Amino acid sequence: MKRIETTIQNLKKDIGHFYQPELYHFIVMNAVDLGEKIELQWFFGDYTEPFEIIAFCAQITPDVEIPSITSIVPSAWVAEAELVDLIDIRIENTSKGFVLEPDFESGPLRKGK
Amino acid sequence: MAKQYEIPVGAQHISLLEPLHFKFTTENEKIVSTTANIYYVHRGIEKACCTKFKFRQVSFVVGRVCGLCSISHTTAYSQVAEKLIKIEIPARAKYLRMLVIELDRIHSHLLCLSHVAENSGFEALFMKTMQYREAFMELLEAVCGNRVQYDFSIVGGVARDLKPEVAMMIIGRLKKFKSQLDELVDIFQNNWTLGLKNKNAGAITREDAMRLNVVGPFARAAGLAVDVRNESQELLPWIEVGFKIITETGGDAYSRSLVRLREIYVSMRMVENIINGLPESALITETKAFPDGEAVVRIEAPRGELFYYAKGNKTQILERLKIKAPTFSNVSAMLEGFEGNEYGSVPAIIASYDPCLSCTSR
Amino acid sequence: MVPCRQLLPRTILACHARHDEKRLMMKTFFKAIGNLFKRPVTVRYPFEKTYIPDDYRGVIDFDEQLCIWCRRCEMACPPGAIVFSQDMQGKQTYHYNRAVCIFCKECVRTCPKEGALLQTNQPAKFALKEENINNGWNALFEEAVVSREKYAAEKKRVAAEKAAAAKAATAKQ
């Protein structure tokens, strides 16, 4: 697994330069609760050799709004909708309610819940 | 402009095997757009694996995410846990894992094909395919001890050994099944009424498949040659036991049935090669280490690419486990594949997509 | 102008089917007639036996003479189907719930003494209402854990008293 560190401000620029639909495919978006910060990871896989997995990682505080990559990768809306409900982060143009019921306590995957 | 109607195919429907919900916007019975709702069976497995269960017990929890691809989940979790505790498993365990994965692929593809036939109205073919599948369920019971929940891969190796009389039974049944499979291929390929229902139903092009990151037989039927068994040989030696990738052009329900049937031939040959060349060694590697660091693993489940990410923190309980099921990647393409089709073909199209919602909304 | 293809009845369209489709139609037709004279393939289940292998995964058997009471099986069991309770003299008792067990054999693999735990090939018997196998087991599990803690606390208290008495005895001398 190859890690590439990036930030929220450079996210769209980095992924836009990197992603080409003939060479890479988007696997999933993930978030890990590290205590005070949350680490976000975007995983991409190769179509051609050497078939490795590339992860773009960024660390944020929980109240920042994260840009959405659906303009570059159209099928990423499912992963983003899931994380908005389960880890209680904010992503642009994505609303809650895809996974959990409205009266359920949001963010069950955070530590301490 | 004609009037538009919204028709739901709900979570409970007479032709659906899985709890999913589509809401179609139709104009004169032709579908214009779709929205989906897929989280009906969310059970919170990722949270349970990181709070309640120790890391060696998680392989049994994760095997219960899905009933059809249970061996793929346990094997992928065992591989990622072995990467975190940094051990290598013995050679015989690797080949036994591949044997059960391929037997599981055969029975899962036969189930999907029978469901496609049932939803296209051909009930006799549905019953015939299920009858042929019964032989494989008995084989899996002889190898793993149980028909559906195998609990076969554990962290460090495999749980049971393959006895010589079971190996003879597998080879005998595969020989008998070959002529039955030829008959099934003849019917799925040349039957006129089945072709009327399945040709040009739910079609996507190769460019669409690449743009929407589709995986599994769904992508291979559209011409996109993507298969994890082609791509990663370091954990399980797929090409050594005779794996070949199968693609078709066409991208519709008819091509998907043909891809699944041809994959059964490849799986049968791999099972025979594994049984004839099984090495002798131990079954489990013992260790007392705790998981540390982070690791990713991909494996080919019967429906596509399954992805696991795990992070450990030197204690018995994992810090984070992320599971990505193959149907999760296919949701956008499923919605696009409906466009332009008639509302009456929807059950046959959903069956040919082969969704597995238990994996998706774990 | 409606296309003619939609007006033709299906039998006439069948004449336009390709050679493979016609061959298959003939073959299926004769096979269907032949099936009228064959036995059905259904296994009449309670009256005929189905295939069950002899290493089927069944309930767990416990041998009390060989057990060394290390409790590793209780720590390894994924659903928590084994629990040991302890009375005030220190003797431990083994409790097993066949309805919670998933028959995975982890306890047999973790046990350091060969033969204390074994997997049989009998399936679990159905549970009756008077066994109270769900809520009764949850209560039993908590009681067993509490009884072990009580015994450990009692042992510690007795040891502390003895140490204090010994210290007082040596201080007197």
Which residues in chain C are closer than 8 Å to B190, comparing Cβ atoms? 20-21, 23-24
B211 closest CB neighbour out of A51, A74, A100: A74
Which residues have C-beta within 8 Å of that of residue A19, sequence separation ≥ 6? Answer: A26, A44, A72, A73
Q: Is C124 on the interface with B (CB under 8 A)?
A: no
Domain assignment present for residue A99? The answer is no
End-to-end CA distance of chain A: 30
With an 8 Å Cβ cutoff, are B141 and C104 in contact?
A: no
**Three-class SS of residue B33?**
strand
Instruction: Fill in the DSSP letter of residue B342.
Output: B
Domains of chain B: 4-346+353-360 (1.10.645.10)
Shortest distance between the Cα of B144 and any Cα of chain C, in A, equals 8
The residue-averaged pLDDT of B5-15 equals 87
Rounded CA-CA distance B116/B121 in Å is 9
Full domain range(s) for residue A57? 2-91
Domain presence at residue A63? yes
Chain B closest-CA separation from residue A67 CA (Å): 20
pLDDT at C17: 57
The answer, for C12 touching chain B at a CB cutoff of 8 Å, is no
Please choose, from the candidates A94, A3, A92, the residue with its C-alpha nearest in 3D space to the C-alpha of residue A43.
A3
Number of structural domains in chain A: 1
Test B60 with C106 for CB contact under 8 angstroms: yes
Selected for mutation to probe chain B from C104, C105, C106 (highest B CB count within 10 Å) is C104
CATH value at residue A46: 3.30.460.80
* Residue A27, token pair as written in the block: 């696997």
Instruction: Assess whether the previous peptide bond of C112 is cis (omega < 30° from 0).
Output: no
A56 in any annotated domain:
yes
B298 with A1: Cβ contact below 8 A: no
Q: State the chains in contact with A (3 or more Cβ–Cβ pairs under 8 Å).
A: B
How far apart are the C-alpha atoms of B178 and C25, rounded to whole Å?
Answer: 22
Chain A positions in Cβ-Cβ contact with residue B333 (cut-off 8 Å): 75
Q: Do A45 and B298 touch (CB under 8 A)?
A: yes
E-strand ranges in B209-357 read 292-301, 304-313, 320-324
Q: How confident is the model at residue C26 (pLDDT cuts 50, 70, 90)?
A: confident
Asked if the structure places residue A26 within a domain, the reply is yes
Is chain C touching chain A, with at least 3 CB–CB pairs below 8 Å? no
Q: Is the Cβ of C53 closer than 8 Å to some Cβ of chain B?
A: yes
Select the residue of B145, B195, B284 nearest C55 (Cβ to Cβ): B145
Between B39, B215, B232, which is nearest A98 by CB?
Answer: B39
Q: Within 13 A of B229's CA, how many CA atoms are on the CB side? A: 26
Q: What is the pLDDT of residues A20-66, one digit of tens each?
A: 888 888 999 999 988 888 999 999 988 887 788 899 999 988 888 89
pLDDT at residue B14 is higher than 90: no
Asked if the structure places residue A109 within a domain, the reply is no
Chains in contact with B, where contact means 3 or more Cβ–Cβ distances below 8 Å, are A, C
Residue of chain C with shortest Cα separation from B185: C24
Nearest CA in chain B to C104: B151
Interchain CB contact of C52 with B (< 8 Å) = yes
> What is the average per-residue pLDDT within B7-11?
87
Q: Which residues from chain C sit within 8 angstroms of residue B146, using beta carbons?
A: 56-57, 103
Q: Is residue A98 part of a domain?
A: no
Under CATH, to which class is C60-165 assigned?
A: alpha beta
A104 within some domain:
no
Chain B residues with CB under 8 Å of a chain A CB are 37, 39, 42, 44, 46-47, 210-213, 215, 226, 231-232, 294-296, 298, 305, 307, 309, 311, 319-320, 322, 324, 328-329, 331-333, 361
Chains A & B: contacts with CB separation below 8 Å: 67
| CA distance between the termini of chain C | 123
Predicted TM-score of the model (pTM): 0.91
Indicate the SS3 state at residue B25.
Answer: strand
pLDDT at residue B321, as a whole number? 92
The radius of gyration of chain A's CA atoms, rounded to the nearest angstrom, is 14
**Per-residue pLDDT tens over the stretch C43-88:** 888 888 877 888 888 888 888 888 888 888 899 999 989 999 888 8
Confidence at residue B273, expressed as pLDDT on a 0 to 100 scale: 93
**Complex ipTM:** 0.93
Identify the residue among B122, B154, B190, B193 best suited for mutation to test binding to C, counting C beta carbons within 10 A and taking the highest: B190
Q: What is the pLDDT of residue B80?
A: 93
Cβ of B320 within 8 Å of Cβ of A99? The answer is no
pLDDT digits (tens, 9 = 90+) for B154-211: 999 998 899 999 999 999 999 999 999 998 998 888 888 888 888 888 889 999 888 9
Phi-psi region of B22 (alpha: psi -120 to 50; beta: other; left: phi over 0): beta
Q: What is the pLDDT of residues B216-272, one digit of tens each?
A: 999 999 988 888 888 888 888 998 888 999 898 888 899 999 999 999 999 999 999
Chain A contact residues (CB < 8 Å to B): 1, 21-22, 25-28, 30, 32-33, 41, 43, 45-47, 51, 53, 55, 73-75, 77-79, 98-100, 108-109
Categorize the per-residue pLDDT at B104 as very low, low, confident or very high, splitting at 50, 70 and 90: very high
Helix (H, G, I), strand (E, B) or coil at C113: coil
Phi and psi at residue B359, to the nearest 5°: -70, -40
Q: Please report whether residue A112 resides in a domain.
A: no
Domains of chain C: which residue ranges? 4-35, 60-165
